[in-house]
Structure 1
Amino acid sequence: MKLSEGVEAAIHCAATLAGLEDGATIPGSALAAQFGLSPSYLLKHLQALAGAGILESVPGPAGGYRLARAADRISLLDIVVAVEGPQPAFRCGEIRRNGPVKLPDAAYVKPCGINVAMLRAEKAWRTALAAEKLSTIVADFGKDADPRSVAAACAFVAQHRRPQKPV
């Protein structure tokens, strides 16, 4: 199964935003620069994450993006579905009915065995993604990544975060 590059970008952005203190934001343009992505390309994915309730978009010159809920309440499945949509990766086109021998519908009472197997595998994959929480990914990065990478990520957040303005 191949997921779009947007899924990788969305997960990285969400993980970066998980490092913000409450109420702070990071501009989408800074996130795009951090990962070497086109701002217009990334904006499409950030908007999809906001539409799914994963990110919150804060308007205005001091605005940006932040997590809309705690990182331990965001799964990889949430992000994948926000970017790729809820449809299954495998979509059976019932091509078994397309050959030169046309059989009546009664010959196809049982579901396509290939479709059943693929949907079973997709269910297992989605269950595994649902179990993977953004908070665990961020914590594992802090423990297991090269210290230079952790320092660079922390420096990026410190440089680009916009604190929440008092109301």
Structure 2
Amino acid sequence: MKISEGVEAAIHCAAVLAGIEKGTTLPASALAELHGLSPTYLVKHLKQLVAAKLLESVPGPHGGYRLAKKPSAISLLDIVLAVEGPKPAFRCAEIRQRGPGALEPEAYVKPCGINAAMLRAERAWRAALAAEKLSDVIAGYEESADPRAVAFNCAFLARHQRPQG
């Protein structure tokens, strides 16, 4: 299974937005700069997070983005689903019914065992992501990050966050 870079960017942006002061926003351009991403690329994913009600988009000269919920109320699954959509990662194409040994469709009344196994794994993966909260990711970062990275990020946020006027 491959998760898109957009998921990584979305989780990083949500974690950064958790660090801005109450009543402020951070522009997409600053988030893109911080992560070395194209602003156009990032805005696409930020809009997905807004549509999922994980972020708020504030228009105007002091506008930008901020979290719509507390970090403890946002799971990694919420972010993955906002970016990747709700469909399972594995989609059975019933290839067992193709090829020279394929039987008539009535022979395939039982669900594909491979599909069933993959869907069980998907449910377990989703349950694990649902249990991981953004607040947990942030706490892990605060415990293990190099102090220089923390200082840089704090200074970056202080320079780029926009007060609501």
TM-score, reference length from structure 1: 0.96
- Residue of structure 2 equivalent to 1:4: 4
Q: Deviations over 1:93-145 (max 9, x none)?
A: 00110112342222111100000000100110000000000011112211211
One-letter amino acid matched to 1:27: P
Moved more, 136-145 or 74-83: 136-145
Residue matched to 1:83: 83
Amino acid aligned to 1:154: C
Q: What is the aligned partner in structure 2 of residue 149 from structure 1?
A: 149
- 1:17-32 correspondence to structure 2 within 5 Å: 17-32=17-32
Tell me how far apart the structure 1 counterparts of residues 154 and 126 of structure 2 sit (CA, whole Å).
31
Q: Which stretches of structure 1, 4 residues or longer, exceed 2 Å deviation after superposition?
A: none
Identity %: 68
Aligned to 1:55: 55
| Residue-by-residue CA offset, 1:34-81 (whole Å, 9 max, x unaligned) | 101000000000000000000000001110000011110000000000
Q: Which sections of structure 2, spanning at least 5 residues, go unmatched? A: none
Structure-1 residue corresponding to 2:15: 15
Secondary structure in structure 2 of the residue aligned to 1:86 = coil
For normalisation by structure 2, the TM-score amounts to 0.97
State the partner residue of 1:117: 117
Quote the Cα distance in structure 2 between the aligned partners of 1:31 and 1:114: 41
Correspondence for 2:132: 132
Distance 1:130 1:23 in 2: 28
Which residue identity lines up with residue 66 of structure 2 in the other structure?
R
> Does the residue aligned with 1:107 lie in a helix, a strand or coil?
helix
Which residue of structure 1 aligns with residue 99 of structure 2? 99
Match of 2:44 in 1: 44
Q: Is the 8 A contact 2:77 2:129 kept in 1?
A: yes
The amino acid of 2:80's aligned partner reads V
> 1:155, 1:105 → 2: CA distance?
63
